[in-house]
């Protein structure tokens, strides 16, 4: 794998390369990047893998390789404390007191340093729309830019996919160099382009602006109840609604007229001209940009003229959210890769049904654009792993969802007892995760995603004997836990995209009768393979993957899905799972 990547980097070629679990993918692309003597951007889908590459892999290579190189990490501004916004914020309570103590001591301002995630973090963290860069009075001491200034001299810079696409959105003005690009967890890039190139209009965003305007002596008190009425004055939808109802659009027009944002911009610009205070001038300048951004988004949601986007609404914490997402990502992806001499796209799960056809269609990649290679896993899954497929649970469809959650909880508890903890339970929704977290009865310590930042949660799992981690979203991939600490991976449902996802709905609509074979099935296979890959991470690892979704045995596509997994023994009885773990104990 390293030879293939080095050949493509030095030859200025692009490469799609899948590397099965155990190949040593991270080293196989990091070492060629180092040997190429070119500045390299490495992008990952998750902050967890971003941290792992920097704190573990690159640190090791810097120590062991004779060739000297430097590396750094960059996260989005929302991961750093903003000194300007923090000065504006005040709250009463225990968490704010703890937060203030941290502020007085922190040297990096990074959110991951905090032992807890404060609810008010979004009000004190960096925000690109409220940042004036070098002209900000706090620029010299800014945590983000103090870190950023050192990155121009680095040889390798590790970022995440969101930041990579925000760089595209900013006309490539965020990342400090653009020579060669390695995209790990590359199957995620399609959906992240869709998300980043969309927009969101929420109550916290509007309320924050109104409080900022109030602090700037703009009369906005009458606007608060109007904004609250729009975002919170209706029954919240229990699921995403697409398209946006006409009544919501009419209410948004009323809110637009009430806020009169264009008049506010005129007032701010007039006030700015008479100022001599640099801090206040900066605050007004960024506020003007913020007002214009919200005004543009309001107009976009009213008009909905962009046929490349899908517009929808959702409820979140008792408030309405208006969102838009890009439906197809081919054009922005083409623009992204055109700015690099060489692009390497890799993952342990990049292919679906043994080829790259699905990924290439989604991203608009032509055969001549990228070279292709699939490298299998070196592990003996027949010897090291067991696949449990449940045959008795009710199907996890909408009609049976409540019964499925109840009955599958019992199976999860039995499986965890069989493995003596040491389990990662993966869900496809926070609703299911929260149900299990609230009702599970086991004799082992457990935590759920959201209890603490992901890196701390992973460290807790590694440091706590016989522990159990309940997770969704990013924990389906990028988590590397070797040895008997992780001996059971439970996959509650096949990870089909929710039919309530408006982007997915629109993509399916455009595919017509090809929607299942061209989109739904290959997408689910990729995510399932990612979850499966959390288990066996080394030649001495042993364990069980348990899939509780009976559609694997009742639907015709089940065989296709199972055939996409490594060959191994399959059982349908928890007694067989107990026997597998008992055999390991006897052997050891």
514-534: per-residue pLDDT in tens? 999 999 999 999 999 989 989
CATH class of 381-587: alpha beta
The answer to whether residue 586 scores a pLDDT higher than 60 is no
Q: Cβ of 213: how many Cβ atoms within 10 Å?
A: 21
Helix (H, G, I), strand (E, B) or coil at 547: strand
What architecture does CATH give domain 199-326?
Orthogonal Bundle (1.10)
- Domain 2-70+154-197+329-375 belongs to what topology? Rossmann fold (3.40.50)
The answer to whether residue 298 scores a pLDDT higher than 50 is yes
Strand order across the 180-183 sheet: 71-73, 156-160, 40-44, 180-183, 342-347, 15-19, 371-375
Per-residue pLDDT, 578? 94
> What distance in Å separates the CA atoms of residue 32 and residue 42, rounded to the nearest whole number?
12
The answer to whether residue 11 scores a pLDDT higher than 90 is yes
DSSP for 71-83? EEE---GGGBB-H
* Confidence band of 412 (pLDDT split at 50, 70, 90): very high
Do residues 422 and 486 touch, judged by C-beta distance below 8 A? yes
Backbone angles phi and psi of 312, in degrees to 5: -160, 170
Per-state percent for the chain, helix, strand, coil, to nearest 5: 50, 15, 35
Do residues 162 and 44 touch, judged by C-beta distance below 8 A? no
Tokens of 201: 């209009």
Closest CA to 435 of 412, 455, 465, 464: 412
Strand order across the 488-491 sheet: 446-448, 468-471, 423-426, 488-491, 543-547, 385-389, 569-571
Per-residue pLDDT, 478? 65
* Confidence band of 588 (pLDDT split at 50, 70, 90): very low
* Confidence band of 234 (pLDDT split at 50, 70, 90): confident
> What distance in Å separates the CA atoms of residue 229 and residue 234, rounded to the nearest whole number?
8
What residue has token string 């916004």?
85
> What distance in Å separates the CA atoms of residue 115 and residue 456, rounded to the nearest whole number?
8
Rounded to whole angstroms, what are the CA distances from 529 to 422, 476, 561?
20, 9, 9
Supply the DSSP symbol for 245: P
Helices 430-439 and 401-419: crossing angle in degrees, nearest 10, is 60
* Confidence band of 46 (pLDDT split at 50, 70, 90): confident
The percent of residues above 90 in pLDDT, for the chain, comes to 79
Note the pLDDT tens digit of each residue in 380-398. 999 999 999 999 999 998 7
Between 118 and 155, name the one with better pLDDT.
Answer: 155
pLDDT averaged over the chain?
93
Q: What angle do CA 231, 234, 237 make, to 5 degrees?
A: 90
What residue has token string 């023994």?
569
Per-residue pLDDT, 90? 80
Per-residue pLDDT, 587? 40
Rounded to whole angstroms, what are the CA distances from 587 to 180, 500, 542?
48, 48, 12
Going 518 to 519 to 521 to 522, the CA torsion angle's sign is: positive
Per-residue pLDDT, 469? 96
Do residues 40 and 180 touch, judged by C-beta distance below 8 A? yes
DSSP for 28-95? HHHHHHHHTTS-EEEEES-HHHHHHIIIIIIHHHHHH-SS---EEE---GGGBB-HHHHHH----SHH
Of the listed ranges 135-139, 395-399, 483-487, the one predicted with least confidence: 395-399
| Mean per-residue pLDDT, 349-359 | 91
Pairing of the two strands 199-202 and 180-183: unpaired
pTM of the predicted model, to two decimals? 0.85
Q: Tell me the domain boundaries of the chain.
A: 2-70+154-197+329-375, 199-326, 381-587
Note the pLDDT tens digit of each residue in 53-97. 999 999 999 999 999 999 999 999 999 999 999 988 888 778 888
DSSP for 325-350? EES--HHHHHHHHHTSSEEEEEESS-
Domain 2-70+154-197+329-375 shares a fold with domain 381-587: yes
| Mean per-residue pLDDT, 182-194 | 95
Backbone angles phi and psi of 40, in degrees to 5: -130, 135
Strand order across the 199-202 sheet: 199-202, 319-326, 309-316
Question: Would you call 349 exposed, middle or buried from its count of C-beta atoms within 10 A (0-12, 13-18, 19+)?
Answer: buried
Note the pLDDT tens digit of each residue in 255-297. 999 999 999 999 999 999 888 888 899 999 999 999 999 999 9
* Confidence band of 535 (pLDDT split at 50, 70, 90): very high
Name the H helices within 203-242: 203-215, 223-232
The answer to whether residue 362 scores a pLDDT higher than 90 is yes
DSSP for 501-523? -HHHHHHHHHHGGGHIIIIIHHH
Helix (H, G, I), strand (E, B) or coil at 296: helix
Neighbouring residues of 56: CB distance < 8 A, sequence distance ≥ 6: none
Do residues 557 and 521 touch, judged by C-beta distance below 8 A? yes
Long-range pairs for 277-281: beta carbons < 8 A, 24 or more residues apart: 278/137, 279/84, 279/137, 280/216
| Mean per-residue pLDDT, 433-445 | 96
* Confidence band of 45 (pLDDT split at 50, 70, 90): confident
DSSP for 444-498? S-EEETTSS-HHHHHHHHHHSTT-EEEE-GGGGSS----STT--EEEE-S--PPP
């Amino acid at each position: 794998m390293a030879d293939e990547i080095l050949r493509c980097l030095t030859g200025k070629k692009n490469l799609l390369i899948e590397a099965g679990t155990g190949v040593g993918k991270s080293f196989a692309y990091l070492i060629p990047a180092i040997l190429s003597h070119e500045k390299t951007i490495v992008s990952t889908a998750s902050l967890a893998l971003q941290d792992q590459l920097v704190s573990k892999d690159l640190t090791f290579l810097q120590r062991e390789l004779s060739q000297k190189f430097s590396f750094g990490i960059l996260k989005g501004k929302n991961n750093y404390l903003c000194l300007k916004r923090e000065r504006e914020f005040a709250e009463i309570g225990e968490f704010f007191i703890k937060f203030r103590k941290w502020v007085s001591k922190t040297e990096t301002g990074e959110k991951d340093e905090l032992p807890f995630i404060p609810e008010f973090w979004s009000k004190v963290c960096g925000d690109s729309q409220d940042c004036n860069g070098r002209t900000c009075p706090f620029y010299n001491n800014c945590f983000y830019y103090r870190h950023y200034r050192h990155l121009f001299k680095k040889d390798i810079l590790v970022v995440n996919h969101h930041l990579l696409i925000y760089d595209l959105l900013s006309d490539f003005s965020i990342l400090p160099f653009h020579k060669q690009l390695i995209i790990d967890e590359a199957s995620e890039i399609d959906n992240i382009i869709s998300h980043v190139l969309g927009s969101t209009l929420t109550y916290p965003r509007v309320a924050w602006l109104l409080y900022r305007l109030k602090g700037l002596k703009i009369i906005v008190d009458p606007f608060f109840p109007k904004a609250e009425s729009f975002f919170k004055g209706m029954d919240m939808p229990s699921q995403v609604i697409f398209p946006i109802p006409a009544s919501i659009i009419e209410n948004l027009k009323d809110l637009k007229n009430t806020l009169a944002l264009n008049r506010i911009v005129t007032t701010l610009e007039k006030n700015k001209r008479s100022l001599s205070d640099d801090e206040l001038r900066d605050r007004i300048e960024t506020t003007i940009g913020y007002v214009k951004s919200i005004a543009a988004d309001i107009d976009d949601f009213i008009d909905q003229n962009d046929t490349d986007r899908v517009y929808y609404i959702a409820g979140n914490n008792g408030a309405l959210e208006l969102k838009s997402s890009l439906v197809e990502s081919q054009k922005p992806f083409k623009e992204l890769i055109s700015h690099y001499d060489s692009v390497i796209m890799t993952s342990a799960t990049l292919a679906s049904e043994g080829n790259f056809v699905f990924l290439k269609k989604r991203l608009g990649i032509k055969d001549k654009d990228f070279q292709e290679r699939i490298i299998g896993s070196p592990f003996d899954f027949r010897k090291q792993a067991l696949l449990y497929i449940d045959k008795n649970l009710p199907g996890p469809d909408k009609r049976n969802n409540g019964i499925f959650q109840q009955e599958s909880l019992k199976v999860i508890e039995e499986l965890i007892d069989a493995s003596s903890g040491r389990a990662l339970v993966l869900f496809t929704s926070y609703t299911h995760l929260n149900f299990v977290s609230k009702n599970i009865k086991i004799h082992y310590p457990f935590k759920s995603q959201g209890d603490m930042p992901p890196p701390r949660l992973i460290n807790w799992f590694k440091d706590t004997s016989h522990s159990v981690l309940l997770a969704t979203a990013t924990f389906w991939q990028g988590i590397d836990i070797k040895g008997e600490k992780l001996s059971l991976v439970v996959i509650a449902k096949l990870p089909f995209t929710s039919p309530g996802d408006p982007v997915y709905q629109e993509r399916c609509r455009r595919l017509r009768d090809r929607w299942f074979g061209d989109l739904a099935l290959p997408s689910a296979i990729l995510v399932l393979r990612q979850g499966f890959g959390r288990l066996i991470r080394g030649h001495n690892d042993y364990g069980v993957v348990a899939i509780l979704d009976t559609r694997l045995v009742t639907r015709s596509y089940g065989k296709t899905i199972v055939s996409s997994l490594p060959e191994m023994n399959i059982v349908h009885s928890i007694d067989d799972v107990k026997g597998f773990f008992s055999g390991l104990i006897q052997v050891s």
